[in-house]
Chain A
Amino acid sequence: MADFVMPTLGADMTEGTLVQWKKREGDHVTKGEIIAEVDTEKAAIDVECHATGVIERLIIRPGDKVPVGTIMAVIRENDKTTTGRTGAQAVAPQATVPAPAPRMDRVPGSSPQAGRLRMSPAARKLAVERGIDPSGLQGTGPEGAITLEDIERAAAVAPELTRPAVAADRQTRMRQTIAAAMARSKREIPHYYLSTTIDMGPAIAWLSEANQRRPVTERLLYGVLLIKAVALALRQVPELNTLWKEGQAIRSERIHIGTAISLRQGGLVAPALHDADRLSLSDLMKNFQDLVKRARAGSLRSSEMSDPTMTVTSLGEQGVETVFGVIYPPQVALVGFGKIVERPWVANGQVLPRPVIMASLSADHRVTDGHRGGLFLSEIDRLLQEPQSL
């Protein structure tokens, strides 16, 4: 048996609300498949399942808000189907829901404890669409079967379970989440800051040449070059690609770049571009476009929220030349880029106008020192001088 628990979808997330299950009891799930939609202070997130098997029980109901780590569902894993568990044991995980009981508004005894509900596939489908958990309903059909009308009635009297209501005060809650994460960062992380000015001439020349050959749907933005350069530089200074957990620096094998994306209604998220060091610029661009689109539409995946190993923020287009960011715990470093500006630049004894960008590093002094941080920024600079190798 594997427990599917309320995941941590970002620093300082303490609880989440189940919006809807994407699977039903008895359904087969594969590792990585979306099993649920969970609403956090920041966004509604599609949560991936970490086990492969058959869903034995869905414990939490849509609309329930539970703490991180709460068992939400029990999955019978494929390779453990022959362990000869009895029915009694199979439902046992129910008892492991942590007390104090999370806010569950329904009377515990009102839900059927075993067996499938009597309801038509149409009613089941409607229940999913309306975000209604049918197991809490009193059926009015033959033999207590739940009818389409029962679902509609439940949807009408349960507006607190519907999406707009969940989203309504998200603004406030997002502010609170950012406040909590950033206050924790400044309280716990001894930041140090470095910056350097990078000549973007070669990168921009290479980019406009490359974009001339590309159809409009496949063109690159220079931001993608910056992300790739950061990801590759992390290979050289891997101690910055580290998470600080319980007083220990744990180095990450893979490089997932958190990309700060501002949301139209205010606030920001920094979901991960997975394996940014290994993707081609074209693939990175596609994934980046997709990530921005989904971040703004509020459909990020759980792994994207919980996985970043280091974050890149670019405030450039809002007109500032430098940004010194606040590290997003449990990460230990953040790179900031300002806007590209044309400045006098001395090369080979001559002063020339060049497009330059200011790159900054905010890093955790518990894990690295300025010397390694400086090498890291130099490596980003070096990589950007050879854009064809990115």
Chain B
Amino acid sequence: MSTTTDGNETKGRILRLLGEIAPEAEVTTLRPDVSFRDQFDLDSMDFLNFVVALHKEFHVEIPEADYPKYMTLNGCLAQLSAPQS
């Protein structure tokens, strides 16, 4: 488990990446357990760009099969806080 501080820092980085891809997204009122695509207009190209951005920011490998795990903020936090296998 990561500490709260780490979690907040990770969250901030994720929201920043999201904001770069969807500048109109209200990231401050984002609901953490609802899919990004249900909250703002993200198409498959945007989502791919988001995954690429996560890969570059956090140096994680994200296979296509794992995409659904990154569809919500909570999902991203769970994946990125967990130790890499």
Contacts and interface: CB of A to CB of B under 8 A. Distances in A.
Interface of A: 208, 211-212, 216-217, 219, 221, 223, 264-265, 288-289, 292, 317
B24 A264 contact: yes
Given A264-B22, A264-B23, A265-B24, A216 B52 contact: yes
Contact of B61 (A216, A223, A288, A292): A216
Given A317-B43, A317-B44, A217 B55 contact: yes
Contacts of B44: 221, 223, 317
B45 A221 contact: yes
A217 B64 contact: no
9 contacts: A216-B51, A216-B52, A216-B61, A217-B55, A221-B44, A264-B23, A289-B49, A317-B43, A317-B44
Nearest to A222: B44
B48 interface: yes
A310 to B, nearest CB: 21
B83 interface: no
B52 A208 contact: no
A223 B47 CA distance: 14
Given A216-B51, A265-B24, A292 B45 contact: yes
B55 A211 contact: no
Nearest to B60: A216
Nearest to B22: A264
A341 to B, nearest CB: 15
Given A216-B51, A217-B55, A211 B45 contact: no
B4 to A, nearest CB: 29
Given A219-B48, A221-B44, A289-B49, 18 more contacts: A208-B64, A211-B64, A212-B63, A212-B65, A216-B51, A216-B52, A216-B55, A216-B61, A221-B45, A221-B48, A223-B44, A223-B45, A264-B22, A264-B24, A264-B41, A265-B24, A289-B45, A317-B43
